[in-house]
Amino acid sequence: MSFSEDPDLQPILFVLLLSMYLVTILGNLLIILAVCSDSHLHTPMYFFLSNLSLADIGFISTRIPNMIVNIQTHNDIISYVECLTQMSLFTILVCIDYMLLTVMAYDRFVAICHPLHYAVIMNSRFCGFLILVPFFAESFGLSAAQFTSFKSVEISSFFCDSSVLLNLSCTATYSNNIGKYFLAAEYGLLPISGIVFSYYKIMSSLLRIPSLGGKYKAFCTCGSHLQVFAYF
């Protein structure tokens, strides 16, 4: 189904979606360029931030370009393979976004609660491992889901949403429901729990700092991550 079938809205939607897409791509590319070009930003926190920007570029590119083309061509048909590809990439990148925010919270936890061991714990190999974990975890979750191809169906969404496709599948609904609950817990409950736990430990450490200036300095190291998490 199209985003809107009102012909008067089509040009407005085209300009709006294209503008949002270009601004998002440009903004994230500037973040990546800034981190890569400035040696002072070659730290785990900014490494995760640049990967978050890269994931956001892929995240928005899974849907918006296809919607823009559909508006211009007035064609909402998508093939089975293209639909599964869109759904898989969308789900993986959403999971990576959530997991990166969780990893960034853990990074701030180590920086504030274990500052003397920060360089040892957050080494380059461990940071690379933390980037790869969500990708493989989500790929495993998607591989467990079962789908049946159809000759012609109408998806009641303007992109290939996983919950809609699972409901359309001819396979057992019980296994599909288990898959949906697993995905919801994986990129919903677990990341939020990790972030809340990390900041609980951070706040506990902040309360033990005697000086107000020390508390403010320590809080500034995690303030930017809290802003990113709130915006997301």
For the entire predicted model, the pTM comes to 0.79
Whole-number pLDDT of residue 32? 94
Q: Is residue 3 part of a domain?
A: no
Q: For residues 60 and 232, what is the distance between their CA atoms, to the nearest angstrom? A: 13
Q: For residues 106 and 145, what is the distance between their CA atoms, to the nearest angstrom? A: 30
Domain that holds residue 193: 10-231
Q: Is residue 1 part of a domain?
A: no
- Whether the per-residue pLDDT at 186 is higher than 80: the answer is no
pLDDT band at 145 (very low <50, low <70, confident <90, very high): low
Q: Is residue 203 part of a domain?
A: yes
Of the listed ranges 76-80, 137-141, 197-201, 225-229, the least confidently predicted one is 137-141
Instruction: Provide the number of structural domains found in the chain.
Output: 1
Closest by alpha carbon to 87, among 142, 38, 5, 42?
142
Whether the Cβ atoms of residue 72 and residue 14 lie closer than 8 Å to each other: yes
Q: Is residue 65 part of a domain?
A: yes
CATH number at residue 69: 1.20.1070.10
Left (φ > 0), alpha (ψ -120 to 50) or beta: where does 153 sit?
Answer: beta
CB atoms within 10 A of CB 47: 21
Mean model confidence pLDDT for the chain? 82
Whole-number pLDDT of residue 142? 61
Whether the Cβ atoms of residue 136 and residue 95 lie closer than 8 Å to each other: no
Q: Is residue 2 part of a domain?
A: no
Whole-number pLDDT of residue 17? 92
Q: Is residue 150 part of a domain?
A: yes
